[in-house]
Every structure is written in C-alpha cells, then in structure tokens.
Amino acid sequence: MPPTSSRSSVALALVAGLFVGVVFAGSVGWLMLSRDSGRSLLSHVWSSVTGRVLSIDVSQPTVVDRIQRLQRLETVVYTMDKLVTGAKENPIFPDFLAGDRLLMMVHGEVVAGIDFSGLKPGDVRLNGREVHLHLPTSQVLSTRLDSAKTRVYSRQTGLLVPTDPNLETEVRQEAERELQAAALADGILQTAQQNAASTITSLLQGLGFEKIEFE
C-alpha cells in the first residue's frame, strides 16, 4: 500500500476513535446527570408527600381552652413555723386547779394563685399576633397545716378538770388563721399575680403570640 494511503487510513482511524470516545463519554455523563436528577426529583417528591408542615392554631377558642386547662394555677407557696398557745381558764379557780393550757409548734403553708376555671371567651381578645387577656385576681387557694411537722409542745391541765378534747382542734384552726394573715401581710397576693402573669406570658408566647397585654 502506498505511504500516503497508509497515513490517511491511520488519521481516519484516529478521528473515528476520538469521535466514539466523545460520544461514549457524553452518553455516560448524560446518564449520570439524568440519574442524579432523577434521584433529586424523586427525593423532592417523597419529601413533599411525607414531610410535616408547621401549623400553629391561635384562634380564640384554642387560647381560652389552653388557659382554662391550667385550672387553679398555684404560683406562690408561703410556709411558716410558729408557736401557738391555746388556753381554757376558769374565772374563779386558778389555772393549776381548773385551767387547760396547750402550747403547739405548727408548720403550715399558704398557697396562692389564680383560678382560671371561670375564664370566658370575652376575657380574651386577639388581633393577629397580639392578645389582650383579662387576668383574674389572685386569691388564697388553700391554707393547711402539715400534720407530720405539727405537734403539741406542752400541755397543762388543772387538777379539778378533765383535758378538753376540743382545745387542740381550736388551736389548729387559730394557727391557720394566723398563718394566712401573716401571708397576706407579706404580700402573697401581689406576688401570686406577678408570677401568674409571667406563666401566662410564656404559655402564649409558646402559641406564637408576640405581644401580650393584661387587663
């Protein structure tokens, strides 16, 4: 074969090989791109079908219901230890003959807060992300003595009279009254109102409100 013809054949073979290589590489690249795009599209569709969308219900009935669930919101617990004396005396005979004296060490607590059970829809007004709430007045929810930490410290009964079975009960009742009076004097209701406002503010902010005003 002549030299010129051989060179032409070699050049033609090289061009053909290069063309096949380019076509093959392009095909592989297109397949990979198509496969990646398909995976991406499939992943997007799957996420759309199975994904979760954030939804916050801040309608008035929902807000009223959430607050009503708090029922009796206890915001302050006031505790006290106190010596309380009770006595029964006879106007004629001295105590060592007809008296009955009791000294009791009491431990009790006063719980204050707000009762939301009576909250009405009209007490809550909504305006977008703003809420106006009529906050009920704080009150003493309970006053009780801790029986495990309350005990009779001393008891003196006259020689001529029996022990009065009601004296201890009366002393306990008086101790509860004094305990509540002391708590009120120390501002337990004001503290309960402030703590309740703070608790409700956190609750409403959790529901998505940005501005909370109390009336």
Per-residue model confidence as pLDDT tens digits over 187-200: 999 999 999 999 98
Structure confidence at residue 137 (pLDDT): 92
State which of 59-68, 149-158, 171-180 shows the largest mean pLDDT.
171-180
Share of the chain above pLDDT 90, in %: 21
The neighbour count for residue 100, using CB atoms within 10 Å, is 19
DSSP letter for 129, please: T
Structure confidence at residue 2 (pLDDT): 46
Write down which residue in 53, 73, 97 finishes a domain. 53
Stronger pLDDT, 214 or 5, i.e. the higher one = 214
Q: Does residue 1 have a pLDDT over 60?
A: no
Whether residues 131 and 174 fall in one domain = yes
Share of the chain above pLDDT 70, in %: 71
Per-residue model confidence as pLDDT tens digits over 20-51: 454 445 444 444 545 555 555 455 544 554 55
Whether residues 84 and 156 fall in one domain = yes
Biggest distance spanned by C-alpha atoms of the chain = 157
The neighbour count for residue 184, using CB atoms within 10 Å, is 15
Q: Does residue 169 have a pLDDT over 50?
A: yes
Could you give the 3-state DSSP secondary structure of residue 154?
strand
**Alpha carbon distance 164, 98 (integer Å):** 11
Structure confidence at residue 89 (pLDDT): 79
The answer to whether 188 and 140 have CB atoms below 8 angstroms apart is yes
Residue type, 179: L
- Shortest CA distance to 206 belongs to which of 57, 52, 51, 53? 57
The answer to whether 76 and 111 have CB atoms below 8 angstroms apart is yes
Whether residues 25 and 68 fall in one domain = no
Whether residues 16 and 121 fall in one domain = no
Number of domains in the chain: 2
Whether residues 88 and 156 fall in one domain = yes
Whether residues 77 and 151 fall in one domain = yes
Write down which residue in 18, 33, 53 finishes a domain. 53
Whether residues 153 and 112 fall in one domain = yes
Whether residues 78 and 166 fall in one domain = yes
Whether residues 47 and 88 fall in one domain = no
Alpha helices in the chain (DSSP H): 3-50, 60-68, 95-98, 167-185, 188-206
* 130-133/211-214 β-pairing: parallel
Per-residue model confidence as pLDDT tens digits over 69-121: 777 888 899 998 988 888 887 788 787 786 788 888 889 999 999 998 888 88
The range of the structural domain enclosing residue 180 comes to 60-214
